[in-house]
């Protein structure tokens, strides 16, 4: 059994080894795989492991030996799962590895929007405190979370965990869920999407991306927001119409945004959010704590082990007779 890891660097840049994976077969690990090298590297593989390397229909059709794909993430849109199903290639993902670490990162973004800790630390480094006539100063208003309304779009594992953390800060929680279920979280109130955007002081996106909601955060919704409100996105960049958000920030429909994801990653120089006022952008790192990456590696190994044993788990495209 030949196993090829196409892009192992983001999950293991050197601090997160692959214990036991080489015992499952002949293993080759690449840090990154450019598209032009994909077929040469994957041509004789029985198992492909990918994080963000795209395996579309055209690629799968040229890999006759491929038997299984392990995605090192919860989202699996980098793989044409329907093509895999048609070809008898099951695809497994890693569910629920990042609930706590992503929720924690959301709170970090929220607190940065409210306190601008980094900006004030840089101010001190520049000597502004030493030169101040007063014993204290702040360059931006400081915002207390208690009593504010946190609106959560998507109320799955991560959304509910963010709600728990927001509640610990004394925030009021409203949420919108297409499934209509808030689980057992009694302290949150379900509201229509338009109401959430009008009511919330801070909005955090936690919904999956599909063809029905791409770009749903648009001018119509952004104009409903309070001028003092913030938008946070750690889900998928394509959920937001980036041109509309940039314009909304410039026109003052909302006070600011904190985005860990963009529609195209890395962003090109023409992305309108790169120089939008009040827009904090981080490089898609909310998922990447060492603890979470260790869970990814271990779960991926277990997915491959289960496939080798004939009983694959976490399969997102059920295939007959596999």
Residue 16's CATH number: 3.40.50.720
Nearest of 206, 183, 184 to residue 107 by alpha carbon: 206
For residue 292, the model assigns a pLDDT of 97
Per-residue confidence band for 182, with pLDDT thresholds at 50, 70 and 90: low
Question: CA–CA distance from 242 to each of 199, 224, 232, 245, 264 (Å)?
Answer: 22, 17, 13, 5, 10
Q: What are phi and psi of 120, to 5 degrees?
A: -75, -35
Per DSSP, the three-state class of 152 is: strand
Residue 132 lies in a domain: yes
Per-residue pLDDT tens over the stretch 243-283: 999 999 999 999 999 999 999 999 999 999 999 999 999 99
Residue 320 lies in a domain: no
Evaluate if residue 206 carries a pLDDT over 60: yes
Q: Are residues 91 and 105 in the same domain?
A: no
Question: CA–CA distance from 51 to each of 73, 94, 212, 274 (Å)?
Answer: 6, 11, 24, 25
Catalytic residues: 236, 265, 284
For residue 185, the model assigns a pLDDT of 76
Per-residue confidence band for 211, with pLDDT thresholds at 50, 70 and 90: confident
Instruction: Assess contact for 43 and 67: CB atoms under 8 A.
Output: no
Residue 315 lies in a domain: no
Residue 314 lies in a domain: no
For residue 183, the model assigns a pLDDT of 66
Evaluate if residue 216 carries a pLDDT over 90: yes
Q: What are phi and psi of 77, to 5 degrees?
A: -70, -10
193: containing domain? 99-281
Evaluate if residue 320 carries a pLDDT over 80: no
Q: Are residues 128 and 74 in the same domain?
A: no
Neighbours of 302 (CB within 10 A): 16
Q: How many domains does the chain have?
A: 2
Q: Are residues 208 and 129 in the same domain?
A: yes
For residue 60, the model assigns a pLDDT of 97
Evaluate if residue 41 carries a pLDDT over 60: yes
Q: Are residues 150 and 249 in the same domain?
A: yes
Q: Are residues 129 and 270 in the same domain?
A: yes
Instruction: Assess contact for 193 and 187: CB atoms under 8 A.
Output: no
Quickly count helices (H) and strands (E) in the chain. 10, 12
Q: Are residues 239 and 296 in the same domain?
A: no
Q: Are residues 172 and 44 in the same domain?
A: no
Per-residue pLDDT tens over the stretch 97-138: 999 999 999 999 999 999 999 999 999 999 999 999 999 999
pTM (two decimals): 0.92
Neighbours of 275 (CB within 10 A): 9
Q: How far apart are CA 302 and CA 94, in angstroms?
A: 10
Mean pLDDT in the chain? 95
Evaluate if residue 322 carries a pLDDT over 60: no
């Amino acid at each position: 059994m030949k196993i090829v890891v196409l892009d192992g660097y983001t999950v293991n840049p050197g601090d997160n080894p692959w214990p036991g994976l080489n015992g499952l077969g002949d293993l080759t690990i690449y840090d990154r795989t450019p598209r032009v090298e994909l077929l040469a590297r994957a041509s004789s593989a029985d198992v492909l492991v990918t994080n963000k390397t795209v395996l579309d229909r055209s690629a799968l059709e040229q890999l006759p030996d491929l038997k299984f794909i392990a995605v090192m993430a919860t989202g699996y849109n980098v793989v044409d799962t329907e093509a895999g199903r048609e070809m008898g290639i099951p695809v497994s993902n890693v569910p629920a590895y990042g609930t706590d670490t992503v929720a924690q990162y959301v709170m970090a973004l929220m607190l940065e929007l409210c306190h601008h800790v980094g900006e004030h630390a840089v101010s001190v480094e520049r000597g502004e405190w030493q030169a101040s006539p007063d014993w204290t100063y702040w360059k931006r208003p400081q915002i207390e979370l208690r009593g504010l309304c946190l609106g959560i779009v998507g109320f799955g594992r991560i959304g509910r965990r963010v709600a728990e953390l927001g509640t610990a800060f004394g925030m009021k929680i409203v949420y919108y869920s297409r499934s209509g279920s808030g689980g057992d979280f009694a302290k949150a109130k379900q509201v229509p999407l338009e109401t959430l955007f009008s009511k919330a002081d801070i909005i955090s996106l936690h919904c999956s991306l599909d063809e029905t909601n791409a770009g749903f955060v648009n001018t119509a919704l952004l104009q409903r927001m309070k001028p003092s409100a913030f938008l946070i996105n750690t889900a998928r960049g394509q959920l937001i119409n980036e041109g509309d958000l940039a314009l909304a920030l410039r026109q003052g429909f909302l006070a600011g945004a904190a985005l860990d994801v963009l529609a195209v990653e890395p962003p090109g120089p023409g992305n309108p959010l790169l120089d939008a006022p009040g827009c904090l952008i981080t490089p898609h790192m909310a998922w990447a704590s060492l603890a979470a990456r260790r869970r990814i590696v271990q779960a991926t190994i277990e997915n491959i082990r289960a496939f080798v044993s004939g009983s694959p788990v976490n399969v997102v495209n059920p295939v007959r007779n596999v």
